Structure 1
Amino acid sequence: MNKIYNPNNKDWKTILMRPTQTVADIEGTVNSIFGEVQKGGDAILAKYTQKFDGVDLNSNIVSQEEISSAIASIPEDLKKAIQLAKTNIEVFHAAQKTSRVEVETTNGVQCWQEKRPIQKVGLYIPGGTAPLFSTILMLAIPANIAGCEEVILCTPPDKEGKVNPAILYTANLCGVTKVFKVGGIQAIAGMTFGTETIPQVYKIFGPGNQYVTVAKQIATKHGVAIDMPAGPSELLVMADDSANAAFVASDLLSQAEHGVDSQVILVSTSKEFILKVESEITKQIKNLPRRDIAEKAIANSKLIFVEENQTAIDLINEYGPEHYILCVSNEDIFLNQIKNAGSVFIGNYTPESAGDYASGTNHTLPTNGYAKQYSGVNLDSFMKSMTFQKISSNGIKEIGKAIELMAEAEGLQAHKNAVTLRLKSLE
């Protein structure tokens, strides 16, 4: 890993740069595939499934027989683990429900806000080097709690045209409406425009590689909302000598094994601790099945020493990590000043992987610095806030004159007339 000592804040932007391509590098490819799918539908999906996934499919729809077979193949202990995670995620997201907000702003003017579910949502689940069935829990559970009517899922097939059994088991457990064997840019395009088999959705959720991330951003140009730009995974750990170096190394490696374009960063006020973590990483990485991936990600990662806590806080807020682990003796100083992070994990016994799977919080989070302006997925991600108002005759008398004056000042006579007619009818 790259060790950096006391970096000057003018260099922070360069030091903290993510190892990802820009939208401009990928946009041409995405637009081309989007255009083809919009015109050609399922035939184009099949073309790109063959090209990128290496398989010809008779149908891109997962059958009930495939789902039943997948359910039967999952070991009971894994089923129980998934069900435990499901329970915790349901508890946390159900607690996010809010009641109707109602207020009389002026005598006779009643205003209220209610939340209604988004009717049709599409979930994208990566299935390449790691079949992320846990992401289905994070997306389908709040979708169902919210009351979404249609919840479809797209995930790439393997070379045999199959979907990982754990993905199918979890999708069935969490009430996914239909599962489609489509991945990558073409899956996002299919959900954006709709095809002969895939329904068009109103909002797309889920992580993916850089191509999927850009495809989701392009989808917004075609009238489809997205959860956030959620690209390659990233983790920043802030730790001092009170932390356990082996634990910190394991956390850094847990994110590094996601993909070669993942990034992990350790910030510390102790040079000695940094060296301990570096030694632990060297020791632990040798035994990882995904060692090759982790090593490439580690090459893009940083060990940063700073002398002062405030400098560390400012640097962390500048980075805006997707995942932020905090293991320091005086955690309140950091917690009170964190402004930009997707999800925060506090203390030696709170690994980031707990949030990935079973603690209850959502692991679909903003990456690439988007934590500065985006929230992670939550129950409200699947809802729309709608406002209502009802004005009585007394109410229109109370605010009518103000409306007339304001409309006239803006030169909108019809707006004024809509009030004037009502006021005259009450004379």
Structure 2
Amino acid sequence: MTDKWHLLFLIVLRFHGYSYTRRFDKVELDTIVETVSDLPDPVLDPAVQEAFDVAYDNIYAFHDAQKPVEKIAENMEVSSAIFNCKIIPVCISSVGLYYPGGTAVLPSTALMLSVPAQIAGCKTIVLATPPAQDGSICKEVLYCAKKAGVTHILKAGGAQVRMQYAHHVHSCIRDTLSYQPMSGGSLGSVFLGEWTPESVGDYASGTNHFLPTYGYARMYSGVSLDSFLKYITVQSLTEEGLRKLGPYVATMAEIEGLDAHKRAVTLRLKDIEARQLSNLR
């Protein structure tokens, strides 16, 4: 897409985003994206603040315990000095989160989505939430957002959230718009014993209440720290490692007819052999 058409595309998105906010949220906004650090700290009733602080601590502890450990596999039962493979967890740098609003104020959802992203180390965390009639942000949601490291708040709800992400935060590469609060019929989370009501998981036990619905818990998990991580594999071979593994790779590449893959190995093996012969002279 050319710069001209890209600009036109963003202008159209912006127009429709604002028009949908006027139409469905019934709010006229001067600024649709707020930088959280620029907003004043909200003042909550002490009992309310304590409840959210306890929930935050428990949610943080549960998701912090999910941090993956870097694992190294020493293949072919040879010394790691020859070759090894490992997998490295890396945070997704920019994420967009959707907090539903409308008929109910759900600041607990802001914690459930933002805390794992905070722990993962996401640099940009954009939380979308419908604004109040005066254009303000629910003070409990803002308190949770500030505590959980949200960097920006997008004042929008519904379908226009995706449009506004495209215009204002098009660098975001993951969102959780499809997650819904959990229901008792989902086996994405289990509550054991008569003293464990579903409410504790909804709010403050520490587990995440964003779970798959409509039976998708059979094959998908709910939101966790992994939702905000990607994994990069790394392999490292020494000269001796390639000498041992290379012939197998060359054979497989030849069977598949991928000559470039084969030559990437065989040329290096020939170089090793040539240098070994030179050293013997």
- What TM bracket, shorter-length normalisation? 0.7 to 0.9
Give the gaps of 5 or more residues in structure 1.
Answer: 1-35, 206-215, 217-228, 237-320, 322-340
Q: Is 1:413–2:259 an aligned residue pair?
A: yes
CA distance in 2, matches of 1:411, 1:374: 37
Residue 88 of structure 2 corresponds to: 114
Per-residue CA deviation, residues 336-395 of structure 1 (Å, 9 max, x unaligned), is xxxxx2111111111111001110111111111111111111111111111100011111
Summarize the Cα distance change of 1:387–1:87 in structure 2 as closer, same or farther, 3 Å threshold. same
Residue 156 of structure 1 corresponds to: 130
Give the gaps of 5 or more residues in structure 2.
Answer: 1-7, 274-281
Per-residue CA deviation, residues 175-213 of structure 1 (Å, 9 max, x unaligned), is 10011211111112322x2x1x434311102xxxxxxxx
Residue 99 of structure 1, CA deviation: 1.4
CA distance in 1, matches of 2:47, 2:55: 12
Summarize the Cα distance change of 1:153–1:118 in structure 2 as closer, same or farther, 3 Å threshold. same
Residue 63 of structure 1, CA deviation: 6.4
Per-residue CA deviation, residues 218-265 of structure 1 (Å, 9 max, x unaligned), is xxxxxxxxxxx42475323xxxxxxxxxxxxxxxxxxxxxxxxxxxxx
Q: Secondary structure at the match of 1:121?
A: strand
Residue 186 of structure 1 corresponds to: 160
Residue 37 of structure 1, CA deviation: 7.3
Aligned pairs, how many? 262
Summarize the Cα distance change of 1:368–1:400 in structure 2 as closer, same or farther, 3 Å threshold. same
Give me the TM-score of the superposition, normalised by structure 2. 0.88
Letter matched to residue 28 of structure 2: D
CA distance in 1, matches of 2:36, 2:221: 35
CA distance in 2, matches of 1:389, 1:64: 40
**In the alignment, which of 189, 196, 202 is matched to residue 356 of structure 1?**
202
Q: Is 1:378–2:224 an aligned residue pair?
A: yes
Cα contact 1:37–1:44 (8 A) shared by 2: no
Letter matched to residue 198 of structure 2: E
Q: Secondary structure at the match of 1:200?
A: coil
Give me the TM-score of the superposition, normalised by structure 1. 0.59
Summarize the Cα distance change of 1:92–1:413 in structure 2 as closer, same or farther, 3 Å threshold. same
Bigger relative contact order (CA 8 A; separation at least 6):
2
Per-residue CA deviation, residues 40-88 of structure 1 (Å, 9 max, x unaligned), is 132221100011111111111236699426x12x111111110011111
**In the alignment, which of 163, 168, 183 is matched to residue 234 of structure 1?**
183
Measured on the aligned residues, the alpha-carbon RMSD in Å equals 1.9
Residue 38 of structure 1, CA deviation: 5.1
Q: Is 1:170–2:140 an aligned residue pair?
A: no
Per-residue CA deviation, residues 141-186 of structure 1 (Å, 9 max, x unaligned), is 1111111111011111122222211111111111100112111111
Summarize the Cα distance change of 1:347–1:377 in structure 2 as closer, same or farther, 3 Å threshold. same
Q: Secondary structure at the match of 1:235?
A: coil
Residue 171 of structure 2 corresponds to: 200
Cα contact 1:67–1:169 (8 A) shared by 2: no
* Structural mapping, 1:159-308, within 5 Å: 159-191=133-165, 193=166, 195=167, 197-205=168-176, 216=177, 229-231=178-180, 233-236=182-185
Residue 119 of structure 2 corresponds to: 145
Residue 100 of structure 1 corresponds to: 70
Letter matched to residue 57 of structure 1: L
Letter matched to residue 55 of structure 2: A
CA distance in 2, matches of 1:62, 1:410: 54
Q: Secondary structure at the match of 1:389?
A: strand
Cα contact 1:137–1:170 (8 A) shared by 2: yes
Summarize the Cα distance change of 1:158–1:230 in structure 2 as closer, same or farther, 3 Å threshold. same
Summarize the Cα distance change of 1:390–1:65 in structure 2 as closer, same or farther, 3 Å threshold. closer
Q: Is 1:86–2:86 an aligned residue pair?
A: no
Cα contact 2:99–2:128 (8 A) shared by 1: yes
**In the alignment, which of 32, 46, 58 is matched to residue 60 of structure 1?**
32
* Structural mapping, 1:319-358, within 5 Å: 321=186, 341-358=187-204
